Structure 1
Amino acid sequence: MSDYLAERFMRGVNPDGTSTEIEIRIGRPEEVSEQTWTVAIDIKGLEYGMNTALGVDPWQALTIAFAVTEQAVRYFLDSGGKLCAEENEESELPVEDLFPRFAA
């Protein structure tokens, strides 16, 4: 898939100090059948087990795609990794910048 709805590039620093490029891409919702939609998930540089999110409509499929992506990033961080801006490994990128939460 080459038509992405959203993409983000950053660096990841592994617990052993090595660094890797992280590329996250979320595709556009595509209808498979009347009540089945898919969204492609493309994550390079992190371990994750899904490459497609399924939902009953575009909203649910997209929401699941972002949730799965957040889980992959948080797993990396919980394993001792850290996120950095693409051009600066000294500047840590808070996970809240990628997946913000807003209080009601």
Structure 2
Amino acid sequence: MIIKINTDKTLNGEERSADFFTSQIDEALERFESHISRIEVHLKDENGKKDGFNDISCLLEARLEGRQPIAVTNQANTVDLAVTGAIDKVKSALETIVGKIQKH
């Protein structure tokens, strides 16, 4: 499973953060690893460098083997919360999809 993290120019895409999020995603989606070929994470600050409420957006796209990709978004006050929320949403969606695959 390949994990690629993209940030807009207003967010600091530190390598330490990228490594942290990569390991967090890898750990959370480990049981779906055989179904996922690639995960793309897109982080952006909705209103630039200004402070705002829930202005950090995380789009998480999971590319599944032999199926259409699924994408979820989550907005929060911090990058950590945005990524964590998106991971929870994609995990829930994957549980549904993989559950349907295994029933057939």
Relative to the length of structure 1, the TM-score reads: 0.48
Q: Per residue, is there more helix in 1 or in 2?
A: 2
